Structure formats: structure tokens, C-alpha cells
């Protein structure tokens, strides 16, 4: 059962799901893996909130293991293109593609016990079996372009060099709240919400 609250209206009291009440307060959540479905939902929410009031801040709370790069980049690009200012809040873990979405916030807040993980992208599902050398090379080139795009986003947001970022993303690099501040992934540790 979804948690509800009672809100007074002209008809008396209405039951409203907490998620709907938070949405009307411009607070949205990414608590699933990044994939086409979750990003479609996020994109629709962002577009609606931006169209309803492009000057009012949107807060995106993230607790996600990451996921599909292309789906995530679609949402990342939109977050940078809409007029409404966006604050991102890491409430648990923002890993992989979810860390990139976290970086889209103008203000990036992290809970004290949360962490962020960045790494190089890996190839999607499938097998190299039956592929010709040129097809494998094409996939590798695409993966390198993807890595360069993700590294450039991290470098831009943290004011680090591409070499510094590539060194960190060669393997899974985890950052506590304090380390995320020091590395400039986050702008502030949450003290009060």
C-alpha cells in the first residue's frame, strides 16, 4: 500500500499519495536503475515541472546503482537544457550513470552517510561471438567515445583534468560524502532538509 496523507480541499479532505504531494512541491526521485523506462518517467516529470514554472527550483533525490548510459545521457542533457534550476541530492548512493545525473545539479547535496561511485562505461549486453574484427573495433571506438563524453562531464563539473578523471574512472572509485566534497563531485553535505 502506498503511503497517503490527508489534504484539505473545497470538497473536504482528500487522500493524496505522498509521492504526488512531494511532486507538487517539485521534489522528484530516482530510486531505480537508470534505463529507458526510469528515464522516460524522469524526463516527463522534469518537462512538466519546467513548463509549469521555469523559474522555480526542482529537487531530484537520487539513490540508484546507475545503468544505461544512453538513457541516462538523454536525461542529463535535458537537465542542462531546461530553464528551471535543479538541485540534486544523493540519499544513499549515486553510482555510475546515476553519478553523472547527480552532477547535473547546480547545487549537489550529499547526505552524510551517502557515497558516489564513478567508473568507465562497460559494453552493454551481448557477445562478441560471431562478430567480425571491424565490428568489434567499431564497438570499441563507440565505447571510447562514450568514456570521453562521461569523463568530460566529470572533469567539467569538478574542475579536474581529463587525465585526473581517467585515472579515477579506470576502476570503480567510491567517494564518501567528505571525499565527494573534496573532489568537487558534491557542493555540500546535507545538514538539514
pLDDT above 70 coverage of the chain, percent: 93
Query: CA–CA distance from 52 to each of 8, 25, 78, 84 (Å)?
Result: 22, 12, 16, 10
CA distance 178 to 98: 19
pLDDT band of 13, cuts 50, 70, 90 = confident
Q: What are the structural domains of the chain?
A: 4-189 (3.90.226.10)
Which positions are annotated as active-site residues?
96, 119
Q: To the nearest whole number, what is the mean pLDDT of the chain?
A: 92
Please, what is the end-to-end C-alpha distance for the chain in angstroms?
26
* Structure-model confidence comparison of residues 17 and 144, the more confident one: 144
Tens digits of residue pLDDT in 113-158: 999 999 999 876 666 677 888 888 888 899 999 999 999 999 999 9
The answer to which of 52-56, 66-70, 129-133, 157-161 has the lowest mean pLDDT is 129-133
Beta carbons within 10 angstroms of residue 147's beta carbon: 19
Strands 115-118, 173-176: parallel, antiparallel or unpaired by DSSP? antiparallel
Distance CA 16, CA 21 (A): 7
Kindly give the pairing relationship between strand 58-64 and strand 107-110. Answer: unpaired
- pLDDT at residue 8 is higher than 80: no
pTM exceeds cut of 0.85? yes
For the segment 92-110, what is each residue's pLDDT rounded down to a tens digit? 999 999 999 999 999 999 9
Q: Is 44 exposed, middle or buried (0-12, 13-18, 19+ CB in 10 A)?
A: exposed
Amino acid at each position: 500500500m502506498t503511503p497517503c496523507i490527508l489534504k484539505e480541499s473545497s470538497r473536504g479532505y482528500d487522500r493524496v499519495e505522498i509521492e504526488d504531494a512531494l511532486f507538487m512541491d517539485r521534489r522528484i526521485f530516482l530510486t531505480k536503475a537508470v534505463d529507458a523506462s526510469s528515464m522516460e518517467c524522469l524526463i516527463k516529470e522534469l518537462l512538466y515541472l519546467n513548463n509549469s514554472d521555469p523559474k522555480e527550483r526542482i529537487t531530484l533525490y537520487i539513490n540508484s546503482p546507475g545503468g544505461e548510459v544512453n538513457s541516462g545521457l538523454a536525461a542529463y542533457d535535458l537537465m542542462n537544457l531546461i530553464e528551471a534550476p535543479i538541485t540534486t541530492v544523493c540519499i544513499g548512493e549515486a553510482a555510475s550513470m546515476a553519478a553523472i545525473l547527480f552532477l547535473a545539479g547546480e547545487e549537489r547535496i550529499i547526505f552524510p552517510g551517502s557515497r558516489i561511485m564513478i567508473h568507465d562505461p562497460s559494453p552493454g549486453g551481448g557477445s562478441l561471438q560471431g562478430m567480425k574484427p571491424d565490428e568489434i573495433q567499431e564497438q570499441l571506438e563507440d565505447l571510447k567515445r562514450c568514456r570521453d563524453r562521461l569523463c568530460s562531464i566529470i572533469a567539467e563539473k569538478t574542475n579536474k583534468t581529463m587525465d585526473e578523471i581517467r585515472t579515477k574512472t579506470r576502476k570503480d572509485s567510491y567517494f564518501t560524502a567528505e571525499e565527494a566534497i573534496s573532489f568537487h563531485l558534491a557542493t555540500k553535505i546535507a545538514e538539514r532538509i
